[in-house]
Structure 1
Amino acid sequence: MLIPDTMKALVAYSTNDYRYEESFPVPECGADDILIKTEGCGVCAGDIKCEHGAAMFWGDDTQSSWVEPPFIPGHEFFGVIAYVGENVRGYETGERITVEQIAPCGECRFCREGHYWMCQPHKIFGFFKDYCGGMAEYVRIPAKHSVIHKVPASMPFEDALLIEPYGCSKHCVDRAGISNEDIVVLSGAGTLGLGMATYAKMLNPKKLIVLDMIEERLEKAKEFGADIVWNPSKVDVVEEIMKLTEGYGCDIYIEATGHPSSVIQGMQMIRKLGRFVEFSVFSAPTTLDWSIIGDRKELDVLGAHLSPHSFPFVIENIVNGNLKTNGIVSRLFELKDWETAFEYAAGKHGDFKVAFKFK
C-alpha cells in the first residue's frame, strides 16, 4: 500500500484552536509500530467536551491539564493496516484492526496487576501528541503499548464503528453484576445506553427499564430489549418505580447520561443495599446528600471506565446478531465538516452515533 507524506487531519492545538488541515504529516513509524489507513472514526461525548474545554481535559484551578497538544482527536476508530514494523508479530498489511482507547505502559502498579485499563500514566488515543487518534487518514499504533483486535473483513462499516462504544457499554453492565432477579433501571438511551440495553437484555434481568428525555431514543430502547421505557419529563419515574417494586425501589441503577439530575434521581429510586453504577463524563458537579449512600441505604456505588476485556465479545456478538446495532449510526460526515459533525454528535438533532467516513 502506497503511503503518502501528508494527510487530512483534525488537529487540536488548544481548547479554542481545533484546525482541519489538508496537508498534515503522516505519522512516522518505526520497527515497533503499525500504521493504519483509517476507515472510520466515531465522535464521542468526550471528544465534544474536550473541544468545549472541559476541566477534566484541560485543567483548572483545582486540577492540572491532562491532554498533551497538539493531538488528533478520536478514539472510536478502525482501519486497514498499511505498514507493519519489523519487530511486530501477528499482523499483516491489508488486515482490518481496531484498538482499545487505553495505551497501557505495562510497568505501573495497575498494569502489573492486570488492571491495564487503569494504567497510571493513562495515555489514551485521541488526546496526546504521541497517541493521536482517528480523526485523520492515518493513525500510528505503537504495538507494544496498544491493545489491538482484528476486525472481520465482512463486518459492515456501521457495525465496526460501534465496537469501541459497545465495549464500554459491556464493561459498565458487567460492573452492575445483573442477575435474573434484578429490576434494572438504565438512565440514558444514547449510543452507550443502547449498547448497555442490548447487552443487559442478554443477561435476562427480571425487568429492564430505560429512561430518556427523547421519545425516539425510548422507542429504540424498546426495540433493543427494554421491558419498560419512561420519559422523566412526562412521568414521575421515582414514583413509578416505587409502584412497581412495592415501595422498595430498583435493585440496580446505571447512570449513562452525564447529567447531575440523573444521579439524584437514581439515588432516590434505588432500594436499600442496591447497586449504583456510574459511567458518564460530567460537565458539571453533582451535589448530593451522601447520607443516602451510607446511613440511609448502605449502597454499593461503582464506577465504570473504558472497555477492558470486552472487544472480542462485542465483535463476536455484533456479528452473530446478539447485540443489536440497527439504526445506531445515524449520520456520517467528511472530516472537513467536523464542526457540523460535532454539533450533531452533541444530540441537538436527535442523532445516536455520528461518525467520520474516510474514502
Structure 2
Amino acid sequence: MKKERKIPEVMKALVAYGKDDYRLETGYPTPECGPDDIIIKTEACGICAGDLKCSHGAAMFWGDEMQPPWVKPPFIPGHEFFGHIVELGENVRDFVLGERLIADQIVPCGACRFCRDGHYWMCQPHNIFGFQECNNGGMAEYVKYPRTAVLSRVPEEMTAEEALLIEPYGCSKHAVDRGQVTNEDILVISGAGTLGLGMVTYARRKNPRKLIVLDMKEERLQKAMEFGADMVWNPGTCDVVKNIMELTGGYGCDVYIEATGHPSSVIQGLNMVRKLGRFVEFSVFGSPTTVDWSVIGDRKELDILGSHLSPYCYPFVIENIMSKNLKTEGVVSAMFPIEEWEKAFEHATGKYGDLKVAIDFR
C-alpha cells in the first residue's frame, strides 16, 4: 500500500528541454522520496552565470565538435538552493523533518577513484544539481537530495539573502585557497561579481600585501572596496598591466585569480603575473580563449591552477557569514517569483546593475 504523501503530487518548476527551450510548468511531478532520500521545500535558488550560459547553449554544456554534451535534458536548473525537509526516507537517520539544509553542487557517486580518495568534487560521473534529469535542481518548489548528496545545516537565524551566498562563497573560498595566498603576496582578483566579491571578503582574511580588484563596472569596484580591497582598477579606463608593473618594480603580481569568464581577462592575467607566479582559473567560459602558451612555460614557468566547485567549504562559509567575518551586504540585489523567471534571468546578466539574483519560493 502506497504511503499517503503530505506534500502535493505536482509542483511549479522551470524545465529545460533544450538550449533556448526553457518552460515554466505548473503540473510537474513532485520528486518521489526513496528510502535513502530527503525531499526539501525550496526556499530560494540563486541564478549562476553557468545557468545563463547553459540556457544560451554554451558548448561546455551542450557539446560541439570538440566535446560531447554534458547536460541531460529534460532537467530543472539551479544549484544554489536551500530549503526545509518535508519528507525523509525510512533509512535516513542523521536528519529530521523541518531542518533547513543546503547541499554541495555536485552529487558524488561515492564509488569512483576520486570519491574514494576524498576528492568527491571531481567525481568521475560528475552529476551536478540542475543539469541532469537524474539530479534536478532548485528552480522548483521541491527538490530531492539523494543518499550521496553532501549536506550542511543552515541556521534558522541566517537570512535568505545570506544563505543564497553559501554556494558562491564556497566556490570563492576554494579559488583563493588554490592560489595559496600569503601575507607577502600581491593578489589580483579579476572580476567583482558575486564570486569575485566572495573572493575579496575571504582573501582579506589572508591579509595579502596588496589586494587589487579589477572590473569594468565602477559600482562593483566600489563594493570591492567596501569588502576589503586595497586598490581597484577599471581595465576600461586605465592600463592595469602597466599599473601592476609600476607597483611591483616591473615584476608583476604574485597571484592572479580570473573570475570573469572573458578571454581578455586570461590574456591580461598572463601578462601581469610575475615569473614563477600563480594563475588561478575559476570561470566558466562562453567562448574559446586563445593564448600564447610559451608565456606559461618558456617565459615565466607559471603555476596554472584550476578551481572547481567548493569542496569542504560550506561549514566555514556558514560559520563566518553568521559571525560577520565574511561580508554579504547588498550582494543579493533582486529576487523574483518563479513565474517571473525570464525577468530574473535577464536581471542576472547584470545589465541592470544586479549582482546575485534569485528565484524566491517563500
TM-score (norm 2): 0.98
SS at match of 2:310: coil
- Residue identity opposite 1:224 in structure 2: F
Q: Cα RMSD (Å) of the superposition?
A: 0.8
Output the CA distance in 2 between the equivalents of 1:228 and 1:107: 46
Given candidates 36, 48, 54, the residue that maps to 1:50 is 54
TM-superposition CA deviations, 1:171-192 (whole Å, max 9, x none):
0000000000000000000000
Deviations 1:52-80 (A, max 9, x none): 01111111112111111111000000000
* Counterpart Cα distance in 1 of 2:300 and 2:53: 33
| Partner of residue 41, structure 2 | 37
Task: Tell me whether 1:105 sits opposite 2:74 in the alignment.
Answer: no
* 1:240-267 deviation line (CA, Å, top 9, x unaligned): 0011001110000000000000000001
Gaps of 5+ in 1: none
Deviations 1:303-323 (A, max 9, x none): 000000000000000000000
Q: Find the aligned partners of 1:129 and 1:226 in 2 and give their Cα distance.
A: 41
**2:295 matched residue in structure 1:** 292
Match of 2:344 in 1: 341
* Structure 1 residue matching 2:297: 3-state secondary structure: coil
Task: Report the Cα distance in structure 2 between the residues aligned to 1:63 and 1:228, rounded to whole angstroms.
Answer: 39
The residue that corresponds to 1:242 in the other structure is 245
Give the aligned partner of residue 72 of structure 2. 68
For 2:27, the equivalent position in structure 1 comes to 23
Superposition deviation, residue 16 in structure 1: 2.7
| Cα distance in 1 between the residues matched to 2:160 and 2:224 | 22
Find the residue that maps to 1:22 and give its secondary structure: strand
Q: Structure 2: which 5+ runs fail to align?
A: none
Q: 1:305 aligns with which of 297, 308, 316?
A: 308
- Where does 1:224-303 land on structure 2 (aligned, <5 Å)? 224-303=227-306
Matched, 1:9 2:13: yes
TM-score normalized by structure 1? Answer: 0.99
1:2 positional shift: 3.1
Q: Distance in 1 between matches of 2:70 and 2:133?
A: 12
Mapped to 1, the partners of 2:242 and 2:62 lie a distance apart of: 40
Name the amino acid aligned to 2:100: R
Give me the whole-angstrom Cα distance separating, in 2, the residues matched to 1:275 and 1:340.
39
Map residues 79-228 of structure 1 onto 2, 5 A cutoff.
79-142=83-146, 144-228=147-231
Is 2:346 aligned against 1:323? no
Q: Deviations over 1:260-279 (max 9, x none)?
A: 00000001111111000000
Counterpart of 1:352, as a letter, is: L
Alignment length (residue pairs): 358
SS of equivalent residue, structure 2 residue 329: coil
Q: Tell me the secondary structure at the aligned position of residue 293 of structure 1.
A: helix
User: Matched residues, percent identical?
Assistant: 69
The runs of 4+ residues in structure 1 deviating greater than 3 Å are none
Amino acid at match of 2:313: S
